[in-house]
Structure 1
Amino acid sequence: MIKTIIFDFGNVFINLDINGALQHALNTFKIETLSDEMIAINSLYEQGLMSTDEFLGFYAENFPELSKEELIEVWNFMLKDFPEHRLAFLKELKATSKYKLILLSNTNALHIDWIIENIPFYESFKNSFDAFYLSHEIQLRKPNNDIFEFVLNENKIKANTCLFIDDNEDNIKTAEALGFKTWHINPDTEDVANLFNSKTHLFD
């Protein structure tokens, strides 16, 4: 029986353009692909193991022709709109008190700064959850096992009583291996607000 619903943030509530952002970065940096070092730096930043100044410093050193503002624009390019009907869905779900609601997101300080500045109802969104975990704040990152174990331990819950919703296949695979029920949401064709219309079987 599902007692807890754990939601990803990007491409579940806020829309992302991941492929477009990657292409924009490659075009701006005038490179063919991200280097292993860039991928590693991005991961460290998402885990809060590197400050924003250090992160931007790395890119400024490698791409000195770009200003700090241009580097931030490239990094935040993937962030798009947050449809308000998804907030309404979340608030209605919260009001029922039927489920413990948890957010579990891979993100970083620059993205959250952008969201706070551009999404006026961010605080209302955040306050709709019983627990709110951002990778850079807890220094853990999906799809690693330890972030899921952290959430289970912190909230004294069992995986088989949780539904985990995420758009990333690797994150879903880890969750399933640990015993979570999952919804691998397709942001192109599915909407989290339709959870109880299209995915009722997940609550059986």
Structure 2
Amino acid sequence: MTIEAVIFDIGNVLIKWQPESYYDRVIGPERRKAFFADVPLHEEHQKVDEGASLRDVFYNLADQTPEWADELRMWHDNWNDLAAPEIPHSVRLLNALKLRGVPVFTLTNFGHDNFPISQEKFGFLKCFDREYVSGRLNLIKPDPAIYAHVEQDCGITPEALLFTDDREDNIATASARGWQTHHFTGPMGWADRLVAEGLLSAKDAE
């Protein structure tokens, strides 16, 4: 079936999402390891993806965990250093699809208040034809309900959607619903898939 829309995840597809790297630079690897061992940071961040305020989650946690208060507030205050940098080849592929007139959506686990912060830094995050952001919807991948919402909202049959994500569990749920999928392990493989689908030329995908 012809692909009618291409859906991008964001973290580790269009921008890097490796908070450990940020803290390694700022506080050093040894202190970072202790910090991540003492505080369930990724579990706390999931609350943001589910709809809580980034500032509330991490400032409240800082108040409760004074020995790591400065580091916890950095998660909010330095967000655009934490969720960075962009992945240039992936951004080129996104822009090439737009130039070709292919509808592009995002389906992302992202907070309602930090997504606009990232959009201000990375202008390409404003170019989607439709934005499906977990923190706005109070639904999160890989819950099938968020995929059902995409289908209902865009009106495109599942088989005509092509979705890329770096997490296999997110891909598996989409595949089970009949979506076309690509497990993102790097932009070159994604480029090859877009060319194979006839959505981009080899030159477009460079």
Same fold (TM over 0.5): yes
**Distance in structure 2 (CA, Å) of the matches to 1:190 and 1:157:** 27
The change in CA–CA distance for 1:152 and 1:56 in structure 2 (over 3 A counts) is: same
The change in CA–CA distance for 1:19 and 1:143 in structure 2 (over 3 A counts) is: farther
Match of 2:37 among 25, 32, 37: 32
| Counterpart for residue 90 of structure 1 | 94
**Residues 162 and 181, structure 1, Cα contact 8 Å, conserved in 2:** yes
**Distance in structure 1 (CA, Å) of the matches to 2:30 and 2:100:** 43
Aligned partner letter, 1:102: F
Aligned partner letter, 2:48: Y
**Aligned-residue offset at 1:20:** 4.0
Structure 1: runs of 5+ lacking an equivalent: none
| Counterpart for residue 147 of structure 2 | 148
1:44 aligns with 2:18: no
RMSD, aligned CA: 3.4
Structure 2: runs of 5+ lacking an equivalent: 201-206
**Residues 13 and 87, structure 2, Cα contact 8 Å, conserved in 1:** no
**1:94-105 → structure 2 map (5 Å cutoff):** 94-97=98-101, 99-105=102-108
Query: Which moves more between the two structures, 154-163 or 53-62?
Result: 53-62
1:84-112 deviation digits (Å, cap 9, x = unpaired) = 45434323312322x33211111125643
**Residues 53 and 113, structure 2, Cα contact 8 Å, conserved in 1:** no
| Counterpart for residue 129 of structure 2 | 130
Q: TM-score, normalised by structure 2?
A: 0.75
**Residues 54 and 76, structure 2, Cα contact 8 Å, conserved in 1:** no
| Counterpart for residue 63 of structure 1 | 65
**Residues 118 and 125, structure 2, Cα contact 8 Å, conserved in 1:** no
**Residues 58 and 73, structure 2, Cα contact 8 Å, conserved in 1:** no
SS of the counterpart of 2:84?
coil
Aligned partner letter, 1:13: L
The change in CA–CA distance for 1:192 and 1:79 in structure 2 (over 3 A counts) is: farther
**1:162-201 → structure 2 map (5 Å cutoff):** 162-187=161-186, 190=188, 192-197=190-195, 199-200=196-197
Aligned residue-pair number: 193
Aligned partner letter, 1:157: I
**Distance in structure 2 (CA, Å) of the matches to 1:29 and 1:137:** 32
Aligned partner letter, 2:126: K
**Aligned-residue offset at 1:131:** 0.4
Q: TM-score, normalised by structure 1?
A: 0.75
SS of the counterpart of 1:32?
helix
1:3-22 deviation digits (Å, cap 9, x = unpaired) = 12111111211123266469
SS of the counterpart of 1:190?
helix
**Aligned-residue offset at 1:186:** 0.3
**Residues 29 and 63, structure 1, Cα contact 8 Å, conserved in 2:** no
